Amino acid sequence: MTDVNRYRSGEIDMTYNNMPIELFQKLKKEIPNEVHVDPYLCTYYYEINNQKAPFNDVRVRTALKLALDRDIIVNKVKNQGDLPAYSFTPPYTDGAKLVEPEWFKWSQEKRNEEAKKLLAEAGYTAEKPLTFDLLYNTSDLHKKLAIAAASIWKKNLGANVKLENQEWKTFLDTRHQGNYDVSRAGWCADYNEPTSFLNMVLSDSSNNTVHYKSPAFDKLIADTLKVTDEAQRSELYSKAEQQLDKDSAIVPVYYYVNARLVKPWVGGYSGKDPMDNIHVKDLYIIKH
């Protein structure tokens, strides 16, 4: 809020990139030319504990992935221009040539049908619904999204989802120790290249809090280090993403955007760097 207030009072010419969601639509109506929305190299997703029953069954993981209505989350709950996600790596990452999975082209109705079928195969019924805890770290936004996800899974799958929130440090420990069912997560690239995301889910990665172990995935990533041709490397990254999708290791929710306010007299700001590296030396004030 303070950022926006300072901007509106004329104290600053540009805000930070985390505009409060409750103000976004209002500002877009009032000062549309000053609201900048650009792709950001970050993915919001739900981690599924791949080692813990019943989530060690790919049918259960896939059902969760299919039944989450990303359009509701992106357009109704968050409503800030984020993009529904089908992969861990955002498609606009340098060196990523991703292929949209088949399910992403389906209507939500078709996804729900397929998800229900998979859950039934895994032994779940209306009398014996899938029941699990959804963990999130304390924050209004994460709470809002968790409430929405839980009600979407209830409506589309009949799942009973109990919400659990923890402070940041405890939340990190819980995920590392694998003491959770499903957890909210987000990752922003350290550098503009697919391995900034994909290395996190290697079997031996200390960041692998989904506890995903796939020799096939590990081999694809290892092979990227052996090729010198960029097209071949992109192809391997694409196959690695396809492997993650086949295994439904995570539930991708949305790719973030950068939303910030910039005064019309600020020159040199393009917003085109998906890592949001802004060099002050490139900015200037236009006489007004």
For the chain, give the DSSP string: -HHHHHHHTTS-SB--SB--HHHHHHHHHH-GGGEEEEEEEEEEEEEE-TTSTTTTSHHHHHHHHHH--HHIIIIIII-SS-EE-SSSS-TTSTT------HHHHS-HHHHHHHHHHHHHHTT--SSS--EEEEEEES-HHHHHHHHHHHHHHHHHH--EEEEEEE-HHHHHHHHHHT--SEEEEEEE-SSSSTHHHHGGGSTT-TT-TT----HHHHHHHHHHTT---HHHHHHHHHHHHHHHHHHT-EEEEEEEEEEEEB-TTEES-----TT----GGG-EEPP-
pLDDT at 17: 85
10-residue mean pLDDT profile of the chain (288 residues): values are 90 90 92 95 99 98 99 95 97 95 99 99 97 97 98 98 98 98 98 98 98 99 96 98 99 96 96 90 94
Tell me, yes or no, whether 111 lies in a domain.
yes
**pTM listed for this prediction:** 0.94
Please give the residue range of the domain that contains residue 212. 37-257
Tell me, yes or no, whether 3 lies in a domain.
no
Tell me, yes or no, whether 275 lies in a domain.
no
Tell me, yes or no, whether 16 lies in a domain.
no
Minimal CA–CA distance to 202: which of 191, 192, 187, 212? 212
pLDDT at 21: 84
pLDDT at 122: 98
* Domains held by the chain: number: 1
pLDDT at 1: 63
Domain of residue 212, CATH code: 3.10.105.10
pLDDT at 22: 86
Tell me, yes or no, whether 279 lies in a domain.
no
Tell me, yes or no, whether 32 lies in a domain.
no
Q: Which token pair is 14?
A: 């540009």
Tell me, yes or no, whether 286 lies in a domain.
no
Tell me, yes or no, whether 264 lies in a domain.
no
